[in-house]
């Protein structure tokens, strides 16, 4: 007797757990149902990210690099089931590896001792800005998402991501990769659904520190700028990447957009 296959149930990824949308709503793509996140899900995701932010930022840069490296390993092991062609998976793996290598180099590159008159000492160090909202592009669904997420994590931030509206399943599949790659719960939160509804709710949230917008929607980008101005958030707009070189060619700029420089003075000899 033949048997029916067990159909996959897609869920949101919030706080390190697979959860159903608070509203119970679903949308459909390619004959598959996926959760349509609500504004309440956005608030839950930001709360989970805020809870995880302190411990993630407190990890050593080397350890964050190890975790990103492990995420690359896990993604490569699932290349055949990610729903995109192998070349895109390979490029995404390479992007994760690239930013894994940046984690312990960001402070030496951006920080340093400032030239001040003796007997004073002044130095600056980069610190993560905190909770970063990411509006992912529609295409390339996997590489476009990883290209925006990896620099945010490498710089010590946590993320709440509004996934591609056209191809949400790839982002939800990435949650399964993150679940086995030592990324602590709450560091990455993935939301699928109506991009306009979710991005606006995310941009208006007062506990969000920065927004990375790669969706390519001019009207939504303008709305995010308006919301960011109301709550004094950093905003970075950028076009979706087309390949590995696009994702890493401006790596420092991508990380600078989500860090703050902390400067300290010390009265040496005074």
Structure confidence by residue, pLDDT tens digits, 78-107: 999 999 999 999 999 999 999 999 999 999
SS3 156: coil
For range 149-153, the mean pLDDT: 98
User: Are 214 and 148 contacting, i.e. CB atoms less than 8 angstroms apart?
Assistant: yes
> Is there a cis peptide before residue 119, judged by omega within 30 degrees of 0?
yes
Question: What is the structure's pLDDT at 267?
Answer: 82
- Which strands form 259-266's sheet, in the order they lie side by side? 112-114, 121-128, 259-266
Sign of CA dihedral 222, 223, 227, 230: positive
Name every residue whose Cβ is closer than 8 Å to that of residue 218 and which is 6 or more positions away in sequence: none
pLDDT at 124 over 90: no
* 108 alpha-carbon distance from chain centroid: 23
Q: Rounded to whole angstroms, how far apart are CA atoms 171 and 176?
A: 9
Domains, the chain, with CATH or none: 12-18+35-266 (3.40.605.10)
In the chain, % of residues over pLDDT 90? 87
Closest C-alpha among 208, 209, 211, 184 to residue 56: 184
Specify which residues 27 forms β-bridges with.
34
Please tell me what DSSP assigns to residue 81: G
Closest C-alpha among 123, 131, 137 to residue 153: 131
Which residue's entry shows tokens 């960011």? 228
Question: What is the structure's pLDDT at 16?
Answer: 97
Token pair listed for 241 = 């990447």
Closest C-alpha among 20, 10, 27 to residue 197: 27
What phi, psi does 12 have (nearest 5°)? Answer: -70, 160
The packing angle between helices 61-77 and 141-154, to 10°, is 160
pLDDT digits (tens, 9 = 90+) for 198-212: 999 999 999 999 999
pLDDT at 1 over 90: no
What phi, psi does 183 have (nearest 5°)? Answer: -70, 120
Question: What is the structure's pLDDT at 265?
Answer: 80
Q: Rounded to whole angstroms, how far apart are CA atoms 21 and 40?
A: 9
Token pair listed for 239 = 């076009």
């Amino acid at each position: 007797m033949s048997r029916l296959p067990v159909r996959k149930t897609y869920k949101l990824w919030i706080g390190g757990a697979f959860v159903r949308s608070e509203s119970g709503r679903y949308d459909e793509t390619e004959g598959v149902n996926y959760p349509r996140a609500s504004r309440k899900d956005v608030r839950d995701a930001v709360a989970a990210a805020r809870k995880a932010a302190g411990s993630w930022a407190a990890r050593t840069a080397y350890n964050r690099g190890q975790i990103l490296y492990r995420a690359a390993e896990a993604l490569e092991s699932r290349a055949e089931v990610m729903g995109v062609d192998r070349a895109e998976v390979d490029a995404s793996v390479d992007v994760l590896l690239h930013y894994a290598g940046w984690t312990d180099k960001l402070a030496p590159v951006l920080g340093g001792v400032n030239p001040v008159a003796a007997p004073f000492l002044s130095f600056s160090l980069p610190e993560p800005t905190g909770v970063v909202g990411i509006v992912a592009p529609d295409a390339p669904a996997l590489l476009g998402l990883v290209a925006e997420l990896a620099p945010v994590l490498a710089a010590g931030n946590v993320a709440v991501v509004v996934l591609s509206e056209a191809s949400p399943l790839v982002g939800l599949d990435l949650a399964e990769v993150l679940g086995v790659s030592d990324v602590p719960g709450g560091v990455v939160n993935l939301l699928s659904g109506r991009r306009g509804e979710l991005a606006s709710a995310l941009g208006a949230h007062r506990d969000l520190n920065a927004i990375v917008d790669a969706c390519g929607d001019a009207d939504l980008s303008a709305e995010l700028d308006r919301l960011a101005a109301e709550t004094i958030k950093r905003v970075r707009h950028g076009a979706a990447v087309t390949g590995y070189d696009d994702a890493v060619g401006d790596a420092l700029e991508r990380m600078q957009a989500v860090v703050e420089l902390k400067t300290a003075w010390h009265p040496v000899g005074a």
